[in-house]
């Protein structure tokens, strides 16, 4: 039995198993096995001798945004509208067959936008060159999931499932679990909160499935077995995602209002160029970028050339962006004279 067949069998068993106290250990083991097989599926084949064409392009600009969606949802049209890059757009599916980069210039920042080929159901298993598409998405700072507003919620749930199966966690934070394998001493289990989804026995069963018999585990929040498995595997990517519903000019106002009120969602129309400015504002917020303006002593600040950094960056980061040797010579001002947004 191949890996795909094993994954299918485990998914079917999880679906038909009732969720209750009596089955939680069985379900935990099944989820651990499923994560192991999915990790094996993503590993490149050692027997493959021919080199395939990759999609990845050199990372440039201040941030990278990946456009993901099913074929013919408007990704290429969106790229052409937001950047100076012309991506071929047509009424038939799979117009885009490779990764096409563009640059959005907004608030002095250069944001790299990648138009990826449309993915289909089963992309995580390699269908439709889905692995290459998803591999590029893992390198992005934000994912824009382009959806067809006329198709309802079907596309969103399918895409979330595909990305979830390859270790991409959308709009989630990394579980606050301390995990450290040891050479001996058995499994040390502790928690600082009351656990309602995991128990010490379940944690031990999952660790044994991964052939881990000596480790320190500390739960600092109430996490599920899936989140604990993510911590063990260690290759999960946590990133913000914007759900962008295109073609709102083809649905009713009531449906537009319903979609617009969903969390992490923006409604647009590329055909009629509706709400694109608000999408840019939301994208800037999700990228968590900030503009730093410098000034020479005795002169007015230069607002024409900003230094783009992530929110939370320190004065040291600004010094490194100006020149690597500046940080060692920099004399920090007194705390009372530091103002937010100024270097």
Per-residue pLDDT tens digits for 220-262: 999 988 899 889 988 888 999 999 999 999 999 999 999 999 9
CA distance 249 to 29: 47
Per-residue pLDDT tens digits for 17-59: 888 777 777 888 888 888 877 776 666 554 443 444 555 677 7
pTM for the whole thing? Answer: 0.77
Per-residue pLDDT tens digits for 156-207: 888 888 888 778 899 999 999 999 999 888 999 999 999 888 888 888 888 9
State residue 337's pLDDT score: 43
Domain boundaries, the chain: 3-43+175-233, 63-87+95-172+237-287, 289-329
- Which CATH code is given to the segment(s) 63-87+95-172+237-287? 3.40.50.300
What percentage of the chain reaches a pLDDT higher than 90?
22
CB 262 within 8 A of CB 239: no
């Amino acid at each position: 039995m191949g890996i795909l067949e094993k994954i299918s069998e485990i998914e079917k068993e999880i679906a038909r198993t009732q969720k209750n106290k009596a089955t939680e250990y069985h379900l935990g083991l099944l989820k651990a096995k499923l994560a192991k097989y999915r990790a094996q599926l993503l590993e490149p084949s050692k027997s493959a001798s021919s080199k395939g064409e990759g999609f990845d392009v050199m990372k440039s600009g201040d941030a990278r945004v990946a456009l993901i969606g099913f074929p013919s949802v408007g990704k290429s049209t969106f790229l052409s509208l937001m950047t100076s890059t012309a991506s071929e757009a047509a009424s038939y599916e799979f117009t885009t067959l490779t990764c096409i980069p563009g640059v959005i210039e907004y608030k002095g920042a250069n944001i790299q936008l990648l138009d990826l080929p449309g993915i289909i159901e089963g992309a995580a298993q390699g269908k439709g060159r889905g692995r290459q598409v998803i591999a590029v998405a893992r390198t992005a700072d934000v994912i824009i999931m382009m959806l067809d507003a006329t198709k309802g919620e079907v596309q969103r749930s399918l895409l979330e499932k595909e990305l979830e199966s390859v270790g991409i966690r959308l709009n989630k934070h990394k579980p606050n679990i301390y995990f450290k394998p040891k050479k001996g001493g058995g499994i040390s289990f502790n928690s600082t909160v009351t656990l309602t989804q995991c128990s010490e026995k379940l944690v031990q069963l999952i660790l044994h499935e991964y052939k881990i018999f000596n480790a320190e585990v500390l739960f600092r929040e109430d996490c599920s077995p899936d989140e604990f498995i993510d911590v063990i595997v260690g290759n999960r990517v946590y990133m913000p995602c914007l759900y962008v519903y295109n073609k709102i000019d083809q649905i009713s106002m009531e449906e537009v209002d319903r979609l617009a009120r969903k969390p992490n969602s923006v409604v647009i129309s590329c055909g009629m160029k509706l709400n694109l400015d608000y999408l840019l504002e939301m994208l800037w917020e999700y990228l968590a970028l900030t503009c730093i303006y410098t000034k020479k002593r005795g002169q007015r600040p230069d607002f024409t050339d900003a230094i783009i950094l992530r929110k939370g960056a320190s004065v040291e980061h600004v010094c490194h962006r100006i020149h690597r040797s500046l940080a060692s010579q920099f004399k920090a001002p007194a705390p009372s004279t530091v103002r937010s947004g100024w270097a």
